[in-house]
Homo-oligomer: A and B are copies of this chain.
């Protein structure tokens, strides 16, 4: 599906930009910026393919993803001072990437006959594991585990796709509906500053 491939590349570029920016904030050199851009954009899908046993992972079968991630990271390295004006589009493209990555991951796991929860996990992992590796390489607790409703949007989209698959909805429609769900939930979460409940450990124990 050409639309899905285009959205996938758009999301890859947005994720690479976010990884490169994180590296710049951590005062990494140009190699670190390119590695973090690459890992953020392609780490989730690579881990998914390793777990599916589909090796070599997609990035080595279609090097477009590698060239795109590295080119975006380089551009961010060179022009990061002028990126302020792109903050709004970046948030939007990032949400598009999130939705696309979830449905690609979950869809692939369904094709590999994974169970319900395994398929949802594959989608969530495709969308979030790259950012987790980025944060681990930056010596930080992964943002997705602490601060944002990033993951819930992915869970909702992955679950919807798995459900639609099992009740027999044609793949094209279920992919579009699920990706759309993730994107809208994510943008609403950013807009209204939603957050997930936490256990308030400090409050209970001090």
A116 to B155, CA, bound (A): 36
The count of residues in chain A whose C-beta lies closer than 8 Å to any C-beta of chain B is 60
Interface pair B31/A63, CB less than 8 Å apart: no
Interface pair A46/B55, CB less than 8 Å apart: no
Interface pair A66/B117, CB less than 8 Å apart: yes
Beyond A201-B27, A201-B80, whether A118 also contacts B50 by CB under 8 A is no
Interface pair A23/B118, CB less than 8 Å apart: no
Closest to A79 in B: B199
Beyond A199-B80, A202-B27, whether A145 also contacts B32 by CB under 8 A is yes
A32 to B26, CA, bound (A): 23
Residues of A within 8 A of B (CB): 23-33, 35-36, 46, 50-53, 55-57, 59-60, 63, 66-67, 70, 77, 80-81, 112, 114-118, 121, 132, 136-142, 144-147, 151-152, 155, 195-199, 201-202, 204
